[in-house]
Amino acid sequence: MMRVGVLGAGGRMGREVLRAVHAASDLELVAAIDPGFAGQPLQALLPEFDGDVQVAADLQALVAASCDLAVDFTAPSVAAGNIAFLLKHGIHGVVGTTGLDHEALGEAVKASPTKANLVVAANFAIGAVLLMQFAAKAARHLRDVEVIELHHDRKLDAPSGTAVHTAAAIAEARRGAGLTAPQDPTEHEDYPGSRGAVVDGVHVHAIRLPGLVAHEEVIFGGIGQTLSIRHDTVDRTAFMDGVLLALRAVSTTPGLTLGLDRLLEG
């Protein structure tokens, strides 16, 4: 049984991860890190937990609990340091924090003397990963495309990591098919930003409203036709199948894995 610690345990995603790991028969929840709840019993975050674990502020609690794996849903300002700690101590990591420098992460994993592995994903919902795959396939045939992503009003980054990853996959697919990003020299924004951000040649529009969770729509346009691909996350439990998939695979998937595509194919 693999021993798991959760970083950012008191957050909305962190609490869902606690619940999912605790319910998994092949994983053992042994540590929780969150400075805002340090010193409290884990039952404060997960009432159904029946063990003797206190929420800690210090990452050393992962080492003290002999964690094999750790999940990080924190913030970019602390996640990079958390990952460095995991790599130093030989703890495999599953990271859902977005806004990280993937090139730097790759170099850090290569330089790690402990050979710890990382799975870093912008989105752990299986349907969202499939949306990105479908969008990349469609982009080989329909060049003109825009992305709309919608999230709750407390999300810190815009555009979302999922939207950026989707745009990158579309751009790569277009290049592979010998297509270039569309150019419209006559386009003019009466209000700057009204056409959204341009990510790798793809217009991306970010919406932030209360009542939303995580949603993405990719709209392709062609002569006489449109194609829309949409995924809606209506509850954060949707991410847990992907988190558990990554936890079960990370120890046997060498190096840095970006996204769940490779794990789904395996």
According to DSSP, residue 66 is labeled: T
Report whether pLDDT(56) > 70: yes
3-state helix, strand, coil in the chain (%, to 5): 35, 25, 40
Q: Which residues does residue 94 pair with via DSSP β-bridges, in sequence order? A: 71, 119
pLDDT at 101: 83
Are 134 and 194 members of one domain? Answer: yes
Provide, rounded to the nearest whole percent, the portion of the chain with pLDDT above 70: 99
Question: What ranges in 91-125 are assigned the alpha helix state H?
Answer: 102-111
**pLDDT grade for 185, boundaries at 50, 70 and 90:** low
For 148-165, the pLDDT digits (tens) are 999 999 988 899 989 999
- CA-to-CA separations, 92 to 18, 188, 258, 260, in angstroms, rounded: 17, 48, 14, 16
Q: Which of 265, 218, 231, 227 is nearest to 141 (CA)?
A: 227
Domain containing residue 151: CATH number = 3.30.360.10
Whether the CB-CB separation of 200 and 168 falls below 8 Å is answered with: yes
The pLDDT of residue 189 is 87
Span 181-194, average pLDDT: 83
Is the separation of the CB atoms in 118 and 95 below 8 Å? yes
Q: Do residue 151 and residue 216 come from a single domain?
A: yes
Residue 205 shares a structural domain with residue 229: yes
Across 36-40, average pLDDT: 96
Whole-number average pLDDT of the chain: 93
- List active site positions: 151, 155
Q: Structurally, how many domains does the chain consist of?
A: 2
Show the domain range for 31.
2-120+237-265
CATH number where 89 lies? 3.40.50.720
pLDDT tens-digit map of 165-178: 999 999 999 999 99
Give the pLDDT band of residue 188 (cuts 50, 70, 90): confident
pLDDT bucket at 266, cuts 50 / 70 / 90: low
Identify whether residues 131 and 30 lie together within a single domain: no
For residue range 88-131, list pLDDT tens digits in order: 999 999 999 877 888 888 888 888 889 999 999 989 999 999 99
**Which residue, chain included where needed, has tokens 């206190």?**
54
Judgement on whether residues 155 and 114 belong to the same structural domain of the protein: no
Query: Do 101 and 133 share a domain, yes or no?
Result: no
> Looking at the predicted structure, is the pLDDT value of residue 182 above 90?
no
Residue 85 has pLDDT above 80, yes or no: yes
Question: Residue 244's closest CA among 9, 8, 29?
Answer: 29
